[in-house]
């Protein structure tokens, strides 16, 4: 892992595979409240194919939160998107970029589309949503943001457990993911929840996405249901839709080979 200083934070990042320069790059953006560790299988499988860059978003994994959020600026997902662009520049990534965002990483990908669409060439939306939160969903996030300091991240892991996995997913995979959540910084969890609660509805923009796009979902995803993701794919011109069998929300760790194969095809497209 390398470390890059970006706007007051130290961002830790896997940077492996093809050398610097204009080789194709796969930029993997993790979900909430996880880290680049969720991509371990994809990194191992795809590093022979292209350069693979997988950051820990601000505050997660081995990255620091830096001076964010500040008292007078509401946290938004734009912060993570701006960090990704700074990372692309710092790492001198000059070739085509395939941006793959999982769940919260997909929300960040939509922020990239709004703010920095010239900085990536292909898009993978994995187990994510285009809609904004309902009032009820937003209220739950605000509650967690307010209380996570007292609760601790282990409680967040337990709260999330029932919605993350297909029921037959092996215990070892479940435990490894929950362990990452339980080790997350409460302050990073709070900031991310506030940022997700403030995200806009991206549905009206789907029809404008003019990049080769993969939309992938676990068949038993309870957070970003297959029907909803199928509609996302239908709204993006030419998008490919893949439903992965025997996977819930955490498709990249539950069925890593299927997810890697789909990403490989997109990078090669």
Tokens standing for residue 160: 């999330």
Residue 30 or 51 with smaller CB distance to ligand MLT: 30
Q: Which residue matches tokens 């080979």?
A: 257
Q: What is the Cα–Cα distance from 131 to 117, expressed in whole angstroms?
A: 19
Residue 69 or 137 with smaller CB distance to ligand MLT: 137
196 and 32 Cβ atoms separated by less than 8 Å? yes
Residue 223 or 232 with smaller CB distance to ligand MLT: 223
Residue 60 or 120 with smaller CB distance to ligand MLT: 60
CB of 12 to ligand MLT, least distance (A): 18
Residue 98 or 193 with smaller CB distance to ligand MLT: 193
CB of 209 to ligand MLT, least distance (A): 20
CA distances from 15 to 4, 34, 178, 225 (A): 11, 18, 25, 31
CB of 104 to ligand MLT, least distance (A): 3
Of all residues in the chain, what percent are helix, strand and coil, respectively (each to 5)?
45, 15, 35
HSE toward the beta carbon, residue 42, CA cutoff 13 A = 33
CB of 95 to ligand MLT, least distance (A): 28
CB of 145 to ligand MLT, least distance (A): 12
Residue 17 or 106 with smaller CB distance to ligand MLT: 106
CB of 32 to ligand MLT, least distance (A): 3
Q: Which residues contact 28 (CB under 8 A, 6 or more apart)?
A: 36, 39, 42, 43, 52, 53, 54, 100, 102, 105
Interaction site with ligand MLT (CB under 6 A): 31-32, 103-104, 196, 223
Q: Which residues contact 150 (CB under 8 A, 6 or more apart)?
A: none
Partner residues linked to 154 by β-bridges: none
Residue 14 or 195 with smaller CB distance to ligand MLT: 195
Burial of 19 (0-12, 13-18, 19+ CB in 10 A): exposed
Which H or E run contains 141?
helix 135-151
CB of 160 to ligand MLT, least distance (A): 7
């Amino acid at each position: 892992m390398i470390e890059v200083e970006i706007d007051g934070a130290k961002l830790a990042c896997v940077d492996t595979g093809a050398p610097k320069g204009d080789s194709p790059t796969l930029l993997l953006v993790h979900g909430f409240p996880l880290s680049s560790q969720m991509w371990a299988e994809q990194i191992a499988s795809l590093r022979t194919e292209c350069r693979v860059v997988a950051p820990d978003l601000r505050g997660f994994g081995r990255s620091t939160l830096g001076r964010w959020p500040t008292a007078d600026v509401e946290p938004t997902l734009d912060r993570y998107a701006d960090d990704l662009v700074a990372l692309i520049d710092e790492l001198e990534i000059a070739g085509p970029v395939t941006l793959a965002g999982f769940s919260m990483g997909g929300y960040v990908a939509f922020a990239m589309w709004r703010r920095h669409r010239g900085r990536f060439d292909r898009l993978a939306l994995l187990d994510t949503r285009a809609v904004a939160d309902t009032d009820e969903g937003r209220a739950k996030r605000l509650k967690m943001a307010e209380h996570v300091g007292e609760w601790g991240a282990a409680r967040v892991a337990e709260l999330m457990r029932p919605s993350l996995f297909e029921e037959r997913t092996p215990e070892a995979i479940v435990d490894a993911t929950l362990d990452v959540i339980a080790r997350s910084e409460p302050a990073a969890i709070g900031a991310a929840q506030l940022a997700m609660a403030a995200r806009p509805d991206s549905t009206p923009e789907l029809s404008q996405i003019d990049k080769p796009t993969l939309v992938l979902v676990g068949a038993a995803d309870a957070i970003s249901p297959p029907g909803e993701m199928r509609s996302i794919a239908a709204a993006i011109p030419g998008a490919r839709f893949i439903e992965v069998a025997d996977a819930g929300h955490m498709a990249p760790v539950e069925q890593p080979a299927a997810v890697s194969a789909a990403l490989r095809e997109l990078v090669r497209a």
